[in-house]
Amino acid sequence: MFVSHLGQAVHAQRFDYAAHIDHWGSRPMRRGRAGTELHREVAEVGLTGCGGSHFPIAKKWGPVLAAGPGGTVVINGAEGEPGSVKDAVVMQTQPHLVLDGAMNVAEIIGARDIIIWLEESAHASADSMGKAIAERQHSGDPLLPITMMWAPSGYLSGESTAVIAGVRGEPVAPTHTLDRARPWGHDLPILVHNVETLARVGMLGHTGAGEYPRTVLITLSLSIEEGVLTDRRVVEAGVSDTIGDVFDRHGVDAASWILLGGFAGTWHQADQARLLPLAPDLLRNNGLSLGAGIVIVVPRGRELLPQAAAIAHIMAGESAGQCGPCVFGLPAVAKALDRGRLGDVMDLSMMIKGRGGCGLPDGVLRMVESAVDVLQEKVGADDGGVSHG
Ligand code: SF4
């Protein structure tokens, strides 16, 4: 039977430091051999980035370790993706698990300080993290210097190269770096990790690989109207579960379509999506992703195309205004969707794909193309179902 861990905690009240110690115990220091051990366990459990990249964490630390001690760990709490609220929930209920993870990583790479990167509207998360820092300092437990930094609200506010730019005092926009292994350039490393990722590193530091809960956190939105999501809830599921298991557990029984992975994700017919696994590696084998752990449900009776068009308009408005194919191409795609001109949509997509400076346009085009695909598949299936005899 599936037993909830992080999700169990996220629906509880905020864990102050006393409750955290009571539940998880004190954080074991992670310098030297203890750090090497945790690094090995991170690889053993296959921990990947929970902000949407799903890049292996142990691998991400490689170039940072090679750069030598020093630098900064960034707790990236900017969830620009409208379909995700899990990081806010984690910060507001398990702030000390996030700090444990950040301290573990800082000790492993020899970082000198920690930055909490938040959207300017994230007052409740800032309040919870600020209280957690004060609780730690009051307890006398070791804590590196921690600073809060504020990002303008928007889809790209948490994009990792935009975060690095912001931390360096530059405009918060994706940076076209030639060296993806050293996106911080030639200065001291700036290692950016999503909030849930750090909470998981914190949890692994307490449980060890043997007891580590193999789960995923999902923001499940039960309705969408013109790109506006309602009835969002954060749920936890086992990696061996399917989307159908999540639906059954949370009473989702009247869905027509789902959008998997958020506004840059993929559309699916709901009955077919029930069979999809949640394990990131299995999804990846099918060319799919949960993104930042996002499942958006279109209730039965609502059409897909207006939702896809509304999302395309929203995402076109999120462009950082640096690349022509993105600035001019995405609004054209959104307008073609408005008019139901699916052939034009696909032609435009072919022209724009791969030409943006960051992943935003390709993500939007993935969402748009999958909408066209599932609509055409549905029409084909419906036509095939008509009896001519
Ligand atoms: S592709 Fe769009 S969002 Fe990305 S850097 Fe270029 S203009 Fe900005």
Tens-place pLDDT, residues 40-77: 999 999 999 999 989 999 999 999 999 999 999 999 99
Using most ligand atoms within 8 A of CB, pick from 159, 360, 365, 366 the residue to mutate for ligand 1.
Answer: 360
Fold assignment, 6-211: Rossmann fold (3.40.50)
Task: State whether the beta carbon of 358 lies less than 6 angstroms from ligand 1.
Answer: yes
Rounded distance between C-alpha atoms, residue 372 and residue 374, angstroms: 6
**Ligand 1 atom with the shortest distance to the CA of 156:** 3
294-299 and 215-225: which strand pairing? Answer: parallel
Task: State whether the beta carbon of 359 lies less than 6 angstroms from ligand 1.
Answer: no
**Residue 168 — very low, low, confident or very high, per pLDDT cuts 50/70/90?**
very high
Reference 154, options 294, 321, 10, 290; nearest CA is 321
Quick check: 7 pLDDT over 60?
A: no
Q: Cα of 153 to ligand 1 centre, how many Å?
A: 16
Tokens found for residue 50: 């929970």
Q: What is the pLDDT of residue 176?
A: 72
Rounded distance between C-alpha atoms, residue 348 and residue 365, angstroms: 9
What is the average pLDDT across 341-369?
94
- Give the residue, 12 or 340, on which the prediction is more confident: 340
Q: What is the pLDDT of residue 4?
A: 41
Alpha carbon nearest to ligand 1 atom 4, residue: 358
Task: State whether the beta carbon of 261 lies less than 6 angstroms from ligand 1.
Answer: no
Q: Cα of 84 to ligand 1 centre, how many Å?
A: 21
**Residue 12 — very low, low, confident or very high, per pLDDT cuts 50/70/90?**
low
Model pTM? Answer: 0.92
- Span 215-299 CATH architecture: Roll (3.10)
- Under DSSP, the state recorded for 156 is G
Task: State whether the beta carbon of 384 lies less than 6 angstroms from ligand 1.
Answer: no
Task: State whether the beta carbon of 356 lies less than 6 angstroms from ligand 1.
Answer: yes
Q: Cα of 160 to ligand 1 centre, how many Å?
A: 13
Contacts of 331 (CB under 8 A, 6+ apart): 313, 316
Q: What is the pLDDT of residue 373?
A: 95
Contacts of 94 (CB under 8 A, 6+ apart): 6, 9, 10, 15, 20, 199
Using most ligand atoms within 8 A of CB, pick from 326, 333, 365 the residue to mutate for ligand 1.
Answer: 326
**Ligand 1 atom with the shortest distance to the CA of 322:** 7
Which tens digit of pLDDT belongs to each residue from 261-308?
Answer: 999 999 999 999 999 999 988 999 989 999 999 999 999 988 999 999
Q: Cα of 53 to ligand 1 centre, how many Å?
A: 17
Q: Cα of 314 to ligand 1 centre, how many Å?
A: 14
Q: What is the pLDDT of residue 385?
A: 44
Quick check: 377 pLDDT over 90?
A: no
CATH of 305-384, picked from 1.20.1440.230, 2.60.40.1930, 2.60.40.1530, 2.60.40.150, is 1.20.1440.230
Q: Where are the domains of the chain?
A: 6-211, 215-299, 305-384
Q: What is the pLDDT of residue 180?
A: 72
Lowest mean pLDDT among 138-142, 243-247, 251-255: 251-255
Task: State whether the beta carbon of 319 lies less than 6 angstroms from ligand 1.
Answer: yes
